[in-house]
């Protein structure tokens, strides 16, 4: 009886790889541009309204720019695969910095050091970001998975985290404006900080994406050292 041959890991063709790299660069450029604008508006509005949540959201945008810039640097030359580890470390550190800042500011808000006033600009900004960020994150994640780039997928998670922060900010500002529940935003932000730590650890270990063609292999082959399977190993049909 003939023994079936194992499926081989097959990456994208050179032409397809070139297209994917251009897409990643485009998504990174769009992410940087949007986040620079977002940071300026959020920090300015946060100072006016004395809102630590808005200021923290603006600083998250700055961190997102740093993360996207790391990916842009990685793909700026022909040796981008060799640069991946350094890019992942930068992204991981950006997650940790974000988690630390959000945690400190949330605790400060909970003990009553700072309480935000109503901010129409903040509400509009959070709503727009909630609509824009998931689109950028999903597009970069698909390209990063097909390309087999852990750093591109890690940066897409950073963008997705910004989506969560947008939702938290929107709910927090709205609830504070409508009902005066000032504690809602910092409480939810602490959960976001915990998620940021988790994503930072995964980026530091390089557990954010599988190699090209991983979807062709068996679940056992796709398991990591801890026996778990990574989301990148599944075929993204969306």
Which residues, other chains included, contact 151 with Cβ-Cβ below 8 Å and sequence gap of 6+? 70, 71, 74, 84, 87, 88, 91, 144, 208
pLDDT computed for residue 121 by the predictor: 92
Choose among 50, 232, 225, 44: nearest CA to 146. Answer: 232
- pLDDT per residue rounded down to tens, the chain (238 residues): 455 544 444 567 778 878 888 888 888 888 889 989 999 999 999 888 877 778 878 888 888 888 788 878 877 766 667 787 888 888 888 889 888 988 888 888 788 766 667 889 999 999 999 999 898 888 888 888 888 888 788 788 878 888 888 888 888 888 888 887 878 777 877 887 888 888 788 888 876 544 443 333 333 443 443 444 444 444 443 4
pLDDT computed for residue 2 by the predictor: 52
Query: What's 18-209's CATH class?
Result: mainly alpha
The full set of domain ranges for the chain reads 18-209
Buried b / exposed e across 202-213, counting CB within 10 Å, b at 16+? bbbebbbbbebe
pTM listed for this prediction = 0.66
Phi-psi region of 218 (alpha: psi -120 to 50; beta: other; left: phi over 0): beta
Alpha-carbon distance 203 to 87, whole Å? 9
The pair phi, psi for residue 7, each rounded to 5°, is -70, 135
């Amino acid at each position: 009886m003939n023994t079936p041959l194992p499926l081989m890991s097959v990456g994208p063709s050179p032409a397809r790889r070139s297209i994917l790299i251009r897409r990643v660069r485009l998504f990174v450029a769009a992410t940087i541009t949007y986040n620079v604008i977002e940071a300026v508006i959020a920090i300015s509005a946060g100072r006016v309204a004395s809102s630590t949540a808005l200021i923290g959201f603006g600083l998250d945008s700055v961190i997102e720019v740093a993360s996207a810039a790391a990916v842009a640097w990685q793909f700026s030359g022909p040796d981008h695969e060799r640069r991946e580890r350094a890019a992942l470390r930068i992204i991981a550190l950006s997650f940790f910095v974000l988690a630390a800042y959000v945690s400190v500011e949330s605790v400060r808000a909970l003990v009553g050091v700072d309480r935000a006033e109503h901010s129409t600009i903040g509400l509009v900004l959070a709503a727009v970001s909630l609509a824009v960020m998931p689109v950028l994150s999903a597009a970069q994640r698909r390209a990063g998975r097909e390309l087999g780039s852990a750093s591109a997928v890690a940066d897409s998670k950073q963008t997705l985290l910004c989506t969560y922060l947008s939702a938290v900010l929107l709910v927090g500002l709205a609830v504070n404006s409508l009902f005066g529940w000032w504690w809602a935003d910092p409480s939810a932000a602490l959960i976001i900080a915990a998620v940021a730590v988790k994503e930072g650890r995964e980026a530091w270990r390089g557990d954010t994406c599988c190699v090209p063609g991983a979807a062709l292999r068996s679940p056992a082959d796709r398991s990591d050292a801890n026996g778990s399977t990574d989301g990148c190993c599944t075929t993204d049909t969306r």
